[in-house]
Structure formats: structure tokens, C-alpha cells
Chains A and B, each alone.
Chain A
Amino acid sequence: DSGVTQTPKHLITATGQRVTLRCSPRSGDLSVYWYQQSLDQGLQFLIQYYNGEERAKGNILERFSAQQFPDLHSELNLSSLELGDSALYFCASAPCSGGVETQYFGPGTRLLVL
């Protein structure tokens, strides 16, 4: 158990819909990273937040957005969903801003868009 929790574990929705994925970092960690793992694109970094502020951006679509709240949990919002958005979405947390090498991964949310 990494100490990072993600909800829900599974999510099934339809094209055009909007969903919110939630991530709670390990106690004391200030950074949250979001990743997408799909058959087509592999494992991709989406976005990073540090202490409530966006710190780095990867291959995140404009239809996707994220935020980190004062209690440090983070949410990833996916809108206007397409079939290709079906994937496993991971979050990871780390103590520091540049701590990508110290990140711990959550178990992921599996999203299926029908």
C-alpha cells in the first residue's frame, strides 16, 4: 500500500459525459501528479500540482482539467468524453515540487467510455 488513495476504482460512462477522479496524497506530500495509461498512448504524464498550484504540464487535453485543494487532495476532471479517453488514470504524490523520483503511485481509476 503506497498510501495514495484514488476513487473511484472503476468508472463506466458514455461519450460526451463529464467525470471527476479523486486522489488523496500520502500524508505530508505536497505534490500530486496525474498520469494516463492507455493501450494506444502508453503511460503519459498529464499534469502536476504542488501545494495547490499547477507546477508542470504534460500531454493533457484541453477537455481535461485538474486542481488541488487546500487539504491537498486533487481532482482530475474529464469532460466531453470520447471513446479514446478510456484508460487507467493514476495519481502519484511526492513530498516536494521536484520530487518526481520520490513519487508514490496510487492504484488507479479505470475509466471506460462507451
Chain B
Amino acid sequence: AQSVTQLGSHVSVSEGALVLLRCNYSSSVPPYLFWYVQYPNQGLQLLLKYTSAATLVKGINGFEAEFKKSETSFHLTKPSAHMSDAAEYFCAVVRSSASKIIFGSGTRLSIRP
């Protein structure tokens, strides 16, 4: 069965510092991978998605993620954190052409001034 593991339920970085949110997936076939962001009291918003076209995926708000098959990872990064990045981030996996999406447990990102 497919699953995703997000290491670290809470990550805190200083404004301007590198953001690194970790995600590892478990899948027997190359999956579709996603990162979503959830701001307080809002629904989920798609940040970026990997669909096997390119291993380095650029998303909105300056975020990007790299698919590494050898490490079964899809970590999310941003070179310089901004206060507005404070939110919860979810990694998700879905088998191609399927409707069922599996979410990770989420990582809450806090930004220190």
C-alpha cells in the first residue's frame, strides 16, 4: 500500500533562512507526488506536483521539491523563508490515474522574526 511519511511535525526557522520539509514515500511504482499548504482556517492549496516529467519541480510562492527515486524522497525547500510561509504543509501521493490520495501527517512550519 502506498504511504507518505513526513519527518517532523513541527519545523521552526528564522525569517530569511532555508526551509526544508521532508517527505518520503512508499510506492511500488512511480507515483504522483504533491505538496499542499494549509493556512489557518482555510482549505488546502496545491503548492506543486510531480508527475514524472522533471525531477525538480517548481511551485508557487518560491517553493520547489526534488523527486529522488533512489531515496524515495520528495522534500520541499525554499531558499529564504518569509513570515507569510507560516502554515501547515502536507505531502501526498497518488497512483497515476487513481482518485485515492494519501496524505502525510503534516508539518507545521513556524517562522521566527
Please report A residues at the B interface, Cβ cutoff 8 Å: 2, 4, 33, 42-45, 48, 55-56, 58, 90, 92, 97-98, 100-101, 103, 105-108
Which residues does chain A contribute within 8 Å of B1, judged by CB atoms? Answer: none
Given contacts A45-B100, A48-B99, contact A101 B34 (CB under 8 A): yes
Given contacts A43-B90, A43-B103, A44-B103, contact A100 B44 (CB under 8 A): no
Question: Once the chains are docked, how many angstroms separate the CA of A103 from the CA of B41?
Answer: 18
Please report B residues at the A interface, Cβ cutoff 8 Å: 32, 34, 41-46, 49, 51, 90, 94, 97-106
Which residues does chain B contribute within 8 Å of A98, judged by CB atoms? Answer: 97-99
B23 to chain A, nearest CB (A): 14
Which residues does chain A contribute within 8 Å of B49, judged by CB atoms? Answer: 101
Contacts A43-B90, A90-B44 given; 11 further ones with Cβ under 8 A? A33-B99, A42-B104, A45-B99, A45-B102, A58-B100, A98-B97, A100-B100, A101-B32, A101-B49, A105-B44, A106-B43
